[in-house]
Structure 1
Amino acid sequence: MSDARTEMLGRIRTALGGSAPGPGAEPAAVPRAYRATGEHAAGSPEVLELLVDRLVDYKAHVHRVTAAVLPGLLAELLAPGSVVVPPGLEAAWLSGLAGLEVFTDSRDAPLSAVELDGIDAVVTAARVAVAETGTIVLDGEPDQGRRAISLVPDVHVCVVRTGQVVQTVPEAVRLLDADPGRPLTWISGPSATSDIELDRVEGVHGPRTLHVALVS
């Protein structure tokens, strides 16, 4: 065994609190000393302000609205053009889109990548948002839809309820762990990448424009 490997395995055993377990023995519990919760409750003013700050820093457009104002905001952001929505999105949210071409994508009747590429925007809900990282997580539920619809159209309008915003990643992971089989999409701002000279390019592998409607 090489010296490097011996040292690496030794560090792992030390971190686990002892020697490697024998055959048939239960593995030692992994210490989890990281912070499991934040100082502020989900949906609190402090958490919401932190999320907005992070999203704006990532070049997302944040709109803080009430449920009554949301349909008008969506109409303003999406017109004129076409939009795709998941089958379980709240119908009231779309009440202002009468003049637009609205497509519904579902697992039973999915649109092709070519069809999605010809649609201007997508509207989804969210499962949870993490304030400290400015991250929104979709988990494929009916109000969020297939992963493809949030990755192909050029504009993504994501509706996040204030009560869905937690402070830390561990809090979000605990919520998501209730349904471990769902596909997850973690979104931190619009799609972007940089080359070796740090020239930022947006829209390379997803929407180049992200609107977040934070609904109270």
Structure 2
Amino acid sequence: MAGATETSDATPSAGASDLGDLVGLFVERVEDYRAVVVRCGPADVAVAVRDGLGDARRVLVPAGFPDGWLLALDDLVERVADTDLTAYELDEVDAVVTTATVGIAVTGTIVLDHRPGQGRRALSLVPDRHVCVVTSDRVVADVPDGVRALDPLRPLTWISGPSATSDIELDRVEGVHGPRNLRVVVVDVS
């Protein structure tokens, strides 16, 4: 075959054709990490974001997050802008909403490269709840596909579920070094 390449890897790459429904796999793997996932169409994003925020009252909204996805919040929460808030000030915020650059199906990972709509790294790590919007056209099969979709010169935050750790007896503790609650809104755009 012209243009075909062979690999010597013992484990074959899991390409899109091998995985079937990438978005479905992404949702399944994100849920495996104890995150809550909601799939919706473009018209329902604002409601899904509002529902994902639960009882949060002070919500950090990074510059560039689409206003149309926040319309359902106007009377319910105080929008907090990031004006170089300190870690202590970020800790006073109930939740943050962001977009994601890439979702990786095989690992259930979301990647932020801190473009508009994503804010700086601390925003996704300090507040107790993170609601992240991922559009279905940004879901890729595996880590190599994800790396190819990213700009290596940008800062990257890779998130696989809510923050969790285990002690020597394997007792799981959540929220030690990041959000205790992760809500992912997957927007079906195709």
Q: TM-score, normalised by structure 1?
A: 0.78
Once the 2 structures are TM-superposed, how far is the Cα of residue 45 of structure 1 from its aligned partner?
A: 6.2
Once the 2 structures are TM-superposed, how far is the Cα of residue 32 of structure 1 from its aligned partner?
A: 7.3
Matches within 5 A, 1:143-154: 143-154=117-128
Tell me which stretches of 4 or more aligned residues in structure 1 moved more than 4 Å. 34-37
3-state secondary structure, aligned to 1:197: coil
Aligned to 1:66: 41
Once the 2 structures are TM-superposed, how far is the Cα of residue 135 of structure 1 from its aligned partner?
A: 0.5
Answer yes or no: is 1:205 the counterpart of 2:177: yes
Asked which structure has the greater CA Rg, the reply is 1
CA distance in 1, matches of 2:13, 2:117: 28
Aligned to 1:85: 61
| Contact kept in structure 2, 1:55 and 1:189, CA below 8 Å | yes
| Contact kept in structure 2, 1:82 and 1:102, CA below 8 Å | yes
Of 52, 76, 80, the match for 1:103: 80
Aligned to 1:13: none
Alignment deviations for residues 66-118 of structure 1 (CA, whole Å, 9 cap, x no partner) = 1111111222232451100110111101111112110121xxx3111111100
Alignment deviations for residues 123-165 of structure 1 (CA, whole Å, 9 cap, x no partner) = 0000001100110000010111100000000000000000000
Higher relative CO (Cα under 8 Å, sequence separation at least 6) belongs to 2
Sequence identity percentage: 53
Once the 2 structures are TM-superposed, how far is the Cα of residue 215 of structure 1 from its aligned partner?
A: 0.4
Aligned to 2:17: 40
Instruction: Tell me the number of residue pairs that the alignment of Structure 1 and Structure 2 aligns.
Output: 179
Q: Where does the alignment leave 5 or more consecutive residues of structure 2 unmatched?
A: 1-6
Answer yes or no: is 1:120 the counterpart of 2:97: no
Distance of aligned partners of 1:81 and 1:119 in 2 relative to their CA distance in 1, 3 Å threshold: same
Once the 2 structures are TM-superposed, how far is the Cα of residue 181 of structure 1 from its aligned partner?
A: 1.6
3-state secondary structure, aligned to 1:52: helix
Q: TM-score, normalised by structure 2?
A: 0.88
3-state secondary structure, aligned to 1:210: strand
Distance of aligned partners of 1:45 and 1:95 in 2 relative to their CA distance in 1, 3 Å threshold: farther
Report the AA paired with residue 174 of structure 1: R
Report the AA paired with residue 186 of structure 1: W
Aligned to 1:16: none
| Contact kept in structure 2, 1:37 and 1:171, CA below 8 Å | no
Report the AA paired with residue 137 of structure 1: V
Aligned to 1:57: 32
Answer yes or no: is 1:134 the counterpart of 2:111: no
| Contact kept in structure 2, 1:36 and 1:171, CA below 8 Å | no
